[in-house]
């Protein structure tokens, strides 16, 4: 979901999602043993996530463990942590007037 606060960030995320999908398709066509996992992390407790009012900031160790598990399981797309996956699904079905007010 794009936001008016950081439109360039949303645009780069959209690019990353489409690029990952294309790489996954290319890998499967050229060598079925190549697999791409699109990892979509929420906020991770790093120097970049130090602003006031952030919620659901995840410890690095938990984030890395979930990423590794998803790669081992050959997941196509994974939201880390699962609660961010819930939020992504919710935002896809949110009425436009609510999205526009965010």
Note whether residue 23 is domain-resident: yes
**In the prediction, which pLDDT does 1 show?**
57
Residue 1 lies in a domain: no
Residue 48 lies in a domain: yes
Domain span including residue 20:
7-101
What pLDDT band is residue 90 in, cutting at 50, 70 and 90? confident
Tell whether 94 is covered by a domain: yes
pLDDT digits (tens, 9 = 90+) for 4-57: 677 898 899 899 999 999 999 999 899 988 889 999 988 888 877 776 667 778
Cis omega (within 30 of 0) on the bond before 83?
no
- Overall domain count for the chain: 1
Contact in structure between 60 and 81 (CB atoms under 8 Å): no
DSSP-derived secondary structure for 35-97: ---EEEE--BSSTTS--TT--SPBPHHHHHHHHHHHHHTT-SEEEESHHHHHHHHHHHTS-HH
Q: How far apart are CA 87 and CA 91, in angstroms?
A: 6
């Amino acid at each position: 979901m794009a936001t008016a606060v950081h439109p360039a960030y949303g645009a780069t995320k959209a690019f990353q999602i489409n690029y990952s999908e294309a790489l996954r398709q290319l890998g499967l066509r050229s060598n079925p043993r190549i697999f791409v996992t699109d990892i979509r992390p929420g906020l991770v407790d790093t120097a970049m996530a130090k602003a006031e009012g952030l919620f659901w900031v995840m410890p690095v160790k938990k984030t890395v463990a979930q990423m590794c598990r998803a790669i081992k399981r050959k997941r196509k797309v994974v939201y880390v942590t699962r609660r961010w996956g819930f939020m992504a699904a919710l935002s896809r079905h949110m009425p436009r007037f609510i999205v526009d007010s965010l």
